[in-house]
Chains A and B, each alone.
Chain A
Amino acid sequence: MASEDRAAAGVTREEGSLGHQRIAFTVMVVLFVLAPFVFYPVFLMKALTFALFACAFNLLIGFGGLLSFGHAMFLGTAGYVCAHAAKEWGFNPEFAILFGTGASALLGIVTGLLAIRRQGIYFAMITLALAQMIFFFYVQTPFTKGEDGIQAVPRGMLFGAIDLSRPLAMYFFVLVIFLAGFLLIYRIIHSPFGQVLKAIRENEPRAISLGYRTDQYKLLAFVLSATLAGLAGATKALVFQLASLTDVHWTMSGEVVLMTLLGGLGTVFGPVVGAFIIITMENYLAALGQWVTVIQGAIFVACVLAFRRGIIGELGHWLKKPL
């Protein structure tokens, strides 16, 4: 990314009033609360889990400047672990999700320790290589059931009381998880930790010279991003009652890059918009089969050429307010 892009979404103007972000957030919440009464809840739940996944990814690239090309491993790992816990060990949904998220956090620590030692393309390649190793592990290990995936995962009773097999109950459960994740990310990027992260993104040697141990900051950002991606993956497994190889495949890592870029790298709301656009396309263009990928590719090219800040990034630039 060129430095002007970073400046556009960057540190300086974000220091101003954040009131308009509160308004945008309120609008988003109202829309999401009303949406299931108009649209098909399963579709919305899918979009919400991907929105959370994209937000988690954006935390790393948009604010830490680290392009991970292996985020599917966190999405998929949490999905498999959550599905296994819910189906084979009979965990309650809330514990199954926590358990899956925890597994991704652990994986994030291990892979993060290896990956953050390098920058730029080497960082991306290391994460991709690790993700491919994880993918191969899931293809071969018996508990994931190979191409079949873990099927018929029970949604169960939330806190032993709320029956999640009802679509609306499940929807609001997913919405609460999404909003919690979203607010956590919002809090992180506006905390002192987030400020240091942005400083590292802009100029790492300078941050080091100011006395920050940048490796520790980057590792923490990586683990946080992995954990939140895991939260999305675990929730997704319960929504579809299925954990499959699609979620750990490298194309999933590519898809989340696309969602984030399309919505707006380094913006708060961009990944949510990007995720909804991509998922809507996949859903309504599904009849075109393999052509969906071609169309996505074309959109990606158009986006990079015409509006590099992404939809929300351009909108924010136009309104002169960071969104």
Chain B
Amino acid sequence: MLQKRSALLAVSLAFAAGAAQAQISDGVIKIGVLNDMSGLYADLTGPGSVVAARLAVEDFGAAKKGMKVEIVSADHQNKPDVGSAIARTWYDTDKVDVIVDVPTSSVALAVSQITKDKGKAFLVSGAATSDLTGKACSPNTIHWTYDTWMLANGTGNAIVKTGGDTWFFITADYAFGHALERDTEAVVLKTGGKVLGKVRHPLSTQDFSSFLLQAQASKAKIIGLANAGGDTINSIKQAAEFGIVKAGQNLAGMLVFLPDIHALGLQTAQGLIFTETFYWDLNDNTRAFTKRFSAQAPRNLYPSMIHAGVYSAVIHYLKAIEAIKSDDGTKVIAQMKKMPTDDPLFGKGSIRADGRKLHPAYLVEVKKPSESKGPWDYYKVRNTLPADQAFRPVAEGDCPLVK
């Protein structure tokens, strides 16, 4: 009898242990960093995002809390077919629990769909299209760092108000460019400006001369660059060669990152106005993070806001897992939305039901070479938009989740 009972006890104990184990699938939380490792967005995202994720796991203290966290990474080459194939393989065979970063809106939209089908979690830092929290929103996706509506609202408003009321757009021809152009155009029209024309270029273009000449011929006061990364750098450099700014037209880089300014140099970039949600020189916390990040990053780059977003998102993700003791994608995302966010880089914030992370945004101006006190001292913060004004109101997004 006693023997029988102890056997029963052993079996039930084994089951209990099995159940506890099953909460975190295979005992490991596997984070997949999927981005552009070698192309035009490599400096803004790329290996830097892997560094940011690693720092987040360290700062969360996963090892001390007995959580096993692994980070894998891959290059999606900015192609939706490559990106979705990697995402599928990661979820199906490599036991990846969450995919983070994913710049290039077309790839992000594809990964968001797959993540929803597989019931995993997707934390977007790199992609910009506001559709991720709009008509393409998903219960498994959180859009972390910034979006096209926020850029358009921050930058567009500021420029129209200072007299830049006629625009010509040079737009990257894919989901991100279209969304950015659409959102900026809406802001320009709303504040009483006019759009004189637009031209679209393929992703990763080397020669912008024909597009810039069209922009010049339009006689618009502002040439809006609805592109990013290497494309923005090329268009700004070539605009300088054409003497467009000297002739009286102004460039508005709608999406510019710190590493872009580093690549352009202050001489070319001075006076550009744009919106970011993170700058390394904001406070002691951001400076301390930057020091650690730069030590590990390739070519000692300073972090872009995308890197900061990856760090912040991974910390909050691990906190949510700690709270509910499960790594089920849908449940973790729900928990992340429930808990307020708090991390050294973005401070206190929250996540809305449509998956939009809320935090302040900064309107910055690039310093003149004479104003810069040292390496990477590039921005003057002109204005801070509080979290409740920086992002699109829920009601305007058409997200099916909040109807």
Q: Is the CB of A42 within 8 A of B89?
A: yes
Beta-carbon contacts of B142-154 to A below 8 Å, as 1s and 0s? 0000000000000
Determine the distance from Cα of A240 to Cα of B77 in the docked complex, in whole angstroms. Answer: 17
Q: Which among A149, A151, A247, A287 has the greatest number of chain B C-beta atoms within 10 A? A: A151
Contacts of A167 in B (CB 8 A): 92
The answer to whether B85 has its CB under 8 Å from any CB of chain A is yes
Residue of A nearest to B178 (CB): A146
Contacts of B82 in A (CB 8 A): 246, 286
The answer to whether B370 has its CB under 8 Å from any CB of chain A is no
Determine the distance from Cα of A40 to Cα of B106 in the docked complex, in whole angstroms. Answer: 25
Min Cβ gap B82→A in Å is: 8
Contacts of A139 in B (CB 8 A): 173, 202
- A-B contacts counted at CB < 8 A amount to 67
Q: Is the CB of A148 within 8 A of B174?
A: yes
One of A147, A247, A286 near B173 (C-beta < 8 A):
A147
The answer to whether A152 has its CB under 8 Å from any CB of chain B is yes
Contacts of A149 in B (CB 8 A): 80-81, 106, 110
Q: Is the CB of B85 within 8 A of A240?
A: yes
Q: Is the CB of A246 within 8 A of B81?
A: yes
One of B81, B89, B202 near A244 (C-beta < 8 A):
B81
Q: Is the CB of B81 within 8 A of A152?
A: no
Q: Is the CB of B175 within 8 A of A148?
A: yes
Q: Is the CB of A242 within 8 A of B84?
A: yes
Q: Which among B77, B86, B106, B173 has the greatest number of chain A C-beta atoms within 10 A? A: B106
One of B79, B92, B203 near A246 (C-beta < 8 A):
B79
Contacts of A287 in B (CB 8 A): 74-75
- A interface, by DSSP: helix, strand, loop or mixed? helix
Beta-carbon contacts of A142-171 to B below 8 Å, as 1s and 0s? 000111110110000000000000010000
Q: Is the CB of A148 within 8 A of B202?
A: no
Determine the distance from Cα of A147 to Cα of B203 in the docked complex, in whole angstroms. Answer: 8
Min Cβ gap A289→B in Å is: 5
Beta-carbon contacts of A48-67 to B below 8 Å, as 1s and 0s? 00000000000000000000
Min Cβ gap A46→B in Å is: 8
The answer to whether B283 has its CB under 8 Å from any CB of chain A is no
Determine the distance from Cα of A296 to Cα of B91 in the docked complex, in whole angstroms. Answer: 28
The answer to whether B38 has its CB under 8 Å from any CB of chain A is yes
Contacts of B320 in A (CB 8 A): none
Contacts of B109 in A (CB 8 A): 148, 151
Q: A149-B81, A246-B79 known; A40 and B175 CB under 8 Å?
A: no
The answer to whether B286 has its CB under 8 Å from any CB of chain A is no
The answer to whether A12 has its CB under 8 Å from any CB of chain B is no
Q: A286-B74, A289-B37, A289-B38 known; A146 and B110 CB under 8 Å?
A: no
Contacts of B174 in A (CB 8 A): 146-148
Contacts of B75 in A (CB 8 A): 286-287, 289
Contacts of B88 in A (CB 8 A): 42
The answer to whether B3 has its CB under 8 Å from any CB of chain A is no
A50-106 interface (Cβ within 8 A of B): none
Q: Is the CB of B92 within 8 A of A240?
A: no
Q: Is the CB of A147 within 8 A of B202?
A: yes
Contacts of A17 in B (CB 8 A): none
One of A42, A146, A240 near B81 (C-beta < 8 A):
A240
Contacts of B37 in A (CB 8 A): 289
A288-307 interface (Cβ within 8 A of B): 289-290
Beta-carbon contacts of B68-109 to A below 8 Å, as 1s and 0s? 000000110101111011101100110000000000011001
* B interface, CB within 8 angstroms of A: 37-38, 74-75, 77, 79-82, 84-86, 88-89, 92-93, 105-106, 109-110, 113, 173-175, 202-203
Which 10 pairs across A and B sit closest by C-beta, in order of nearness? A147-B174, A148-B106, A244-B81, A152-B113, A148-B175, A289-B75, A246-B81, A151-B110, A149-B80, A289-B38
* A interface, CB within 8 angstroms of B: 40, 42-43, 46, 139, 145-149, 151-152, 167, 240-242, 244, 246-247, 286-287, 289-290
